[in-house]
Amino acid sequence: MPLQLQNTFSQTKERFKPLSQEFVKVYYCGPTPYNFAHIGNLRAYLFSDSVVRTLRYLGYKVKTVMNVTDIDDKTIRDSMAQGISLQELTEKFTGLFLEDIKHLSIISADTIVPISTAIDTMVEIIQKLLDKKYAYIADDGSIYYSIKKFPKYGQLAHLDMKGMKSSVRINNDEYEKESVADFALWKAYDTEKDGPNFWDAILVIDGEEVVVKGRPGWHIECSACNLKHFGPEIDIHMGGIDNIFPHHENEIAQSEAYSGKKFAKYWMYAGHLLVDNKKMSKSAGNFYTLADIVEKVPNEKPEMVYRGFRLMNLQTRYRENFNFTFDRLGAAIQTVKSFDEVLRRLKHYNAPSRKIFRDFREMMQQYVQAYIECLEDDIGTPEALAIVFDCFGFINSGIDNNSFSLEEKGAIIDLLHSFDTVLGLFDFSLLDFTEIPAEIELLLIQRNEAKAQKNYPLADSLRDQIGENGYKIVDDKGGSHVEKV
Ligand code: AMP
Ligand code: ZN
């Protein structure tokens, strides 16, 4: 089955056909760095990560671009309130965001664009929109996009535009569907709101050159970012579901009026992360950052919490909302630990060398095939994980029965690596052989002898000695060995 993706634009699952064989152009809206990202924001990036990893796993070459909204109502408001420059505030929170996504094993975009570096392209787009009469300068000195000039307005959000009033204008970056209106492409400078943050857009309006001191609206930023780094057409545009309106609707209106071409072929969205069944958001004050959830699970190492949170997301269909609870996080951490246990068992599994049996080879192929089919069905990570769980059961019983050969053990490890190119969950360092010092090995031999002679007090004290040195004895079916704690 070829790859199918749910396209919000057509509201159907469509077969994925890239624009070009060379590479797939993927864009997703990046963070607004005025504060820490919350785990709801991070869900949106875990989703885009799954899509990109799947495309690559299926053999597509992919290029990814993500913007950083370093100029907007909120970044300007907060930098001024804190008495620091816009750059200082946004660089700090961009850095922290990048650390968060690294903790979650999210592969960073190939190109990350602070939108303050694309002002030239925004001005270029605005000029053309003015020339084509899609844009106009209003009494307040700002430049607006006239949505009635774009008959396709509302197609992504599936809005009913009948009876829409054409005279309404909106200057805010964010607004609800009920307030559908002409939106600001370039906001005239406001001393009180903007302080030291302004740029000069040099434009020709009605044959005259004018300098409009001000700053871009939010939506033009992503249109410009795409145009600058990808050109007028891209394959996949992604975001969180709240980005559909007005942000992406407005992006389409700007980009398509500018170029006359269809902007993005597939529009894909992550559902929301909820807390107490309400959307997690900074404005509602009901949010957790990644650091918060680490702090609230003090008995686990941070890496375990990161991996547990990543797993929770993969266990949920990306389009569905999911309610975050610490119970669910705890259960996901236990599952991650069970993965680790299987890797540890594999490491210590000693098997004689022989050829790989045909049945075994077929079994491996079936796992890969089933796994691919789940992902091809609109990035079905929960279903793909079910295949992985099944495979782990198979590995465990093979180890219990000593039925795998050395070569088969190698094939299993290869299979897990292959699964993990999409999942990004396994800790393969558990397969590395750490040097165990000779004196510790000697203590183990002495302990085993003591145990064989039923001298349990001595065996126990030798075990304690090993423990004091930072190692532990693991007794398994095949004998016992020492591991670093
Ligand atoms: P922002 O930093 O506010 O621009 O948001 C970054 C991304 O997080 C956007 O793609 C939003 O759609 C997404 N987002 C915001 N809140 C949530 C949430 N509770 N669940 C999932 N995604 C969200
Ligand atoms: Zn955007």
Residue with tokens 């085993």, as numbered in its chain: 448
**Ligand 1 lined by 154 (C-beta under 6 Å):** no
CA-CA distance, 311 to 315, in Å (whole number)? 6
Q: How confident is the model at residue 457 (pLDDT cuts 50, 70, 90)?
A: very high
Nearest CA residue ID for atom 17, ligand 1:
40
CA of 377 to the centre of ligand 1 (A): 24
Q: In this structure, which ligand is nearest to the CA of 269?
A: 1
pLDDT (average), residues 247-276: 97
Predicted local confidence at residue 169, as pLDDT: 87
Q: What is the mean pLDDT of residues 89-118?
A: 98
Q: Phi, psi at residue 174, to the nearest 5°?
A: -120, 135
Say if residue 119 is in the same domain as residue 19: yes
Residue closest by Cα to atom 11 of ligand 1 = 240
Is residue 332 within 8 Å of residue 285, measured between CB atoms? no
Calculate how far, in angstroms, residue 61's C-alpha sits from the geometric centre of ligand 1.
27
Looking at the structure, do residues 295 and 265 belong to the same domain, yes or no?
no
How many whole angstroms from 38 Cα to the centroid of ligand 1? 8
For the CA atoms of 248, 253, 254, 259, what is the dihedral angle to 10 degrees?
A: 120
Instruction: Report percent pLDDT > 90 for the chain.
Output: 85
Q: Is 243 in the pocket of ligand 1 (CB under 6 A)?
A: yes
Residues 101 and 242 in one domain: yes
Q: Is the entire prediction scored with pTM above 0.95?
A: no
CATH number for 339: 1.10.730
The pLDDT of residue 428: 96
Does 389 score more than 70 pLDDT? yes
Instruction: Quote the ligand 2 centre to 47 CA distance (angstroms).
Output: 16
State how far the Cα of 119 lies from the Cα of 186, in Å rounded to an integer.
Answer: 11
Respond yes or no on whether the N-terminal peptide bond of residue 246 is cis (omega within 30° of 0): yes
pLDDT of residue 434: 76
**Pair 333, 464 in one domain:** no
- Judge if 175 and 218 occupy the same domain: yes
Residues with CB under 5 A from ligand 2 (ion): 29, 222
- Looking at the structure, tell me whether residues 347 and 282 fall in a common domain: yes
For residue 235, give the nearest of 13, 11, 59, 22 by alpha carbon. 22
User: Which of 238, 270, 302 finishes a domain?
Assistant: 270
CA of 35 to the centre of ligand 2 (A): 17
CA of 13 to the centre of ligand 2 (A): 23
Q: Closest ligand to 279 CA? A: 1
> Where does 326-478 have alpha helices with state H?
326-348, 358-376, 381-400, 406-423, 438-452, 456-468
Q: Is the CB of 240 under 6 A from ligand 1?
A: yes
Report, as an integer, the average pLDDT of 291-300.
97
- Same domain as 398, residue 464: no
Are 241 and 184 part of one and the same domain? yes
Nearest CA to ligand 1 atom 15: 41
**Domain around 244:** 4-270
478 pLDDT more than 70:
no
pLDDT digits (tens, 9 = 90+) for 200-259: 999 999 899 999 999 999 999 999 999 999 999 999 999 999 999 999 999 999 999 999
Q: Which ligand is nearest to the CA of 174?
A: 1
Ligand with minimal distance to 242 CA: 1
Is there an atom of ligand 1 within 6 Å of 115 CB?
no
Mean pLDDT is lowest, of 153-167, 187-201, 245-259, 458-472, for 153-167
Query: Residues 388, 263: one domain?
Result: no
CA of 68 to the centre of ligand 2 (A): 9
Cβ(290)–Cβ(103) under 8 Å? yes
**Which of 90, 242, 283 to mutate to test ligand 1, by most ligand atoms within 8 A of the CB atom?**
242
For the CA of 286, the nearest ligand: 1
**What is the atom index within ligand 1 of the atom nearest the CA of 28?**
10
| Residues 154, 172 within the same domain | yes
CA of 268 to the centre of ligand 2 (A): 13
d(CA 133, CA 196): 31
Give yes or no for residue 51 having a pLDDT over 60: yes
Closest ligand 1 atom, residue 44 Cα: 22
What's the Cα-to-Cα distance from 336 to each of 226, 307, 310, 425, rounded to whole Å?
A: 37, 7, 10, 8
Mean pLDDT of 261-287: 93
Whether 41 lines ligand 1, by a CB cut-off of 6 Å, is yes
Buried b vs exposed e over 327-344: b needs ≥16 C-beta within 10 Å?
Answer: ebbeebbebbeebbebbb
312-348 pLDDT tens trace: 999 999 999 999 999 999 999 999 999 999 999 999 8
Among 181-195, 352-366, 463-477, whose mean pLDDT is lowest?
A: 463-477
95 falls in which pLDDT band (50, 70, 90)?
very high
* Terminal Cα-to-Cα distance of the chain (whole angstroms): 45
Integer Cα distance of 168 and 182 in angstroms: 6
Residue pair 323/277 in contact by the 8 Å Cβ criterion: yes
Check pocket membership of 279 for ligand 1, CB cut-off 6 A.
yes
Say how many domains are in the chain.
Answer: 3
Q: Whose CA is nearest to atom 14 of ligand 1?
A: 41
**Does 166 have pLDDT greater than 60?**
no
Domain co-membership, 409 together with 467: no
Find the ligand nearest to 239 CA. 1
Nearest CA to ligand 1 atom 18: 40
Q: How confident is the model at residue 35 (pLDDT cuts 50, 70, 90)?
A: very high
pLDDT for the residue numbered 411? 96
Q: What is the DSSP letter of 98?
A: H
Alpha-carbon distance 318 to 310, whole Å? 12
Which of 237, 270, 303 is the C-terminal boundary of a domain? 270
| C-alpha of residue 398 to centroid of ligand 2, in Å | 49
Ligand 2 centroid–CA 463 distance in Å is 58
Residue 119's domain is classified under what CATH number? 3.40.50.620
Give the residue from 211, 238, 270 where a domain finishes.
Answer: 270
Nearest to 71 by CA among 175, 184, 170: 184
Q: Residue 175's pLDDT is what?
A: 84
Cβ 37 vs Cβ 289: under 8 Å: yes
pLDDT at residue 424 in the model = 98
Identify whether the C-beta of residue 122 lies closer than 8 Å to the C-beta of residue 216: yes
Residue environment code for 375-414, b if the CB has 16+ CB neighbours within 10 A, otherwise e: bbbbbbbeebbebbeebbebbeebbeeeebbebbbebbbe
pLDDT per residue as tens digits for the range 359-371:
999 999 999 999 9
What local confidence, expressed as pLDDT, does residue 276 receive? Answer: 84
Q: 265 and 128 in one domain?
A: yes
Number of H helices, E strands in the chain: 15, 18
pLDDT exceeds cutoff 60 at 2: yes
Report the SS3 class of residue 355: coil
